[in-house]
Amino acid sequence: MKRRCFYPKVKAAGRRRKTGKFICFFLWGLSLLFVFVCYQNLAETGQAPAMEQIAAYLKEEIAVSAWKNCMMVMVTDEGEEELSLGNYLLEKLEEFYPIYGFSETMTEYDTQIESDFTEELLAENGQEGGTGQEEMKGQDTSKAEEAKKQDTSKSQEENGAEEEKKSKNKKNKKKQEKTETAANSAAGKIQEISREKLNDFDYLVQNFYQIDRTTTIDSSQLNADALLGKSMKLETGNEDVQILIYHTHSQEGYVDSAPGDTSAGVVGVAEYLTQLLREKYGFNVMHHTGEYDVKDRDNAYSYAGPALEQILAEHPSIEVVIDLHRDGVAETTHLVTEVNGKQTAQIMFFNGLSRTTANGDIPYLANPYLADNLAFSFQMKLAAEEYYPGFARSNYLKGYRYNLHYRPKSLLIEVGAQTNTFEEARNAMEPLADIIHKVLTE
């Protein structure tokens, strides 16, 4: 009887071992497939980490897991509640999928002022326009080349030397006309955005804004007719200072900026903007280079406030106040587009709404010029989209104030990020100066 009982038990134990091995192999195979799919997805969004990073992470995870398994025997509480089968399987799956833990260590796109863009949104905003233009350019070039070949062959076969001369003259004339047309289109709008579409709140938000989760806004403040109805034209001449440019964060630099050299960072970029606005467009501009983020970056806005108040008291003629920044993004993000054949950093207009989702309006951060601020940044963004598509990212809205309450025409502008070169950021000042001129004078 003992043998009869023992033998089936041995067989059952063997079956269990085989089943256990099968389940282990199946889970490991599934985990490898999962790792491959995750890596492919990350690669498509440009976030895929280097293989050596993953290898290092896996080694660390295995070491930690081994330590945990050893320690588990030593610290297990006898009175601990028994795990259910479902929880046990979930726990095991988490151990089998270390890539899940690795993905949690990867940071999302965060700006220096705590915005929450994703790289997918950046790609949509920054690359679509440029790609389309390049494709159209290629099509036009191929058509022009075909036309040239046809014209040349006809002139040689049918009209001889004289006709060939005439065709050359015609071609030169066409080239000249083409150049003039291109120059005219550069000076005019590349595209016209329907005002009817802009009156649709959903269309307006989806195409022109990124709203931070810390705040809220509705159609009473984002109304295209109201935003476009406010005149941003300068009221005074250039005998006195009209525009003030300053930096809450003057120490921000670019990928090739030497540490401590502000002339190769946002201060140097703003100096070029000042020069363009003065010399090319005839504005009277003051560039204030005071430093407010050297000792305590977090309180830079508070430190800059008194200096701004003093400057504005001494120069009451100032109508426009621009706080020029540089954004901070993931190292894999490159905010660049092409403008007039130059690699150009993208810009972003930023507004504080003095309102949080959790607490509503913030009385101690009241901004009497909030509607004007929103109108100014929207008109700037609209001009950028119509004259330089792809140059300006979506306007970012957040919950606080950011010293935008000193003048109705106040702007906070992010010029590229730490992954841009100084030259790319400097190049951005040319279209930006043109947009400022268009909004303030035309």
Residues 332-353 have a mean pLDDT of: 97
| Confidence (pLDDT) at 2 | 46
Q: Which tokens belong to 227?
A: 């935003």
* pLDDT tops 60 at residue 318: yes
Residues 304-310 have a mean pLDDT of: 97
C-alpha atoms less than 13 angstroms from C-alpha of 273 in its C-beta half-sphere: 31
* pLDDT tops 80 at residue 267: yes
| Confidence (pLDDT) at 86 | 55
Residues 3-30 have a mean pLDDT of: 64
Query: Residue 273 to residues 114, 266, 345, 413, 426: CA-CA distances in angstroms?
Result: 26, 10, 14, 12, 8
Question: What confidence category does residue 88 fall into, taking pLDDT thresholds of 50, 70 and 90?
Answer: low
Residues 212-234 have a mean pLDDT of: 96
pTM of the model: 0.62
Residues 391-397 have a mean pLDDT of: 98
Nearest to 416 by CA among 291, 287, 328, 338: 328
| Confidence (pLDDT) at 116 | 35
| Confidence (pLDDT) at 67 | 47
| Confidence (pLDDT) at 185 | 41
Give 2 or 377, the one with higher predicted confidence: 377
Q: Which tokens belong to 256?
A: 């090739």
Residues 244-258 have a mean pLDDT of: 97
* pLDDT tops 50 at residue 28: yes
| Torsions phi, psi for 284 (to 5 deg) | -95, 110
- Helix, strand, coil abundance in the chain, percent, nearest 5: 55, 10, 30
Q: Among 12-16, 147-151, 392-396, which stretch is predicted with the lowest mean pLDDT?
A: 147-151
| Confidence (pLDDT) at 442 | 87
Give 178 or 333, the one with higher predicted confidence: 333
Residues 106-116 have a mean pLDDT of: 40
| Confidence (pLDDT) at 256 | 96
| Confidence (pLDDT) at 313 | 98
* pLDDT tops 60 at residue 112: no
Nearest to 440 by CA among 286, 231, 193: 231
Question: What confidence category does residue 73 fall into, taking pLDDT thresholds of 50, 70 and 90?
Answer: very low
* pLDDT tops 50 at residue 29: yes
Which residue spans of the chain are classified as CATH 3.40.630.40? 120-132+193-441
Give 231 or 182, the one with higher predicted confidence: 231
Give 154 or 134, the one with higher predicted confidence: 154
| Confidence (pLDDT) at 118 | 34
Residue 208 CB contacts under 8 Å (≥ 6 apart), including other chains: 378, 381, 382, 385, 394, 395
CA distance 20 to 293: 61
Residues 422-439 have a mean pLDDT of: 98
Residue 408 CB contacts under 8 Å (≥ 6 apart), including other chains: 319, 369, 372, 373, 376
* pLDDT tops 50 at residue 319: yes
Residues 255-276 have a mean pLDDT of: 96
Average predicted confidence (pLDDT) for the chain: 77
Q: Which CATH number fits the domain 120-132+193-441, given the four candidates 3.40.50.1980, 1.10.1060.10, 3.40.630.40, 2.160.20.10?
A: 3.40.630.40
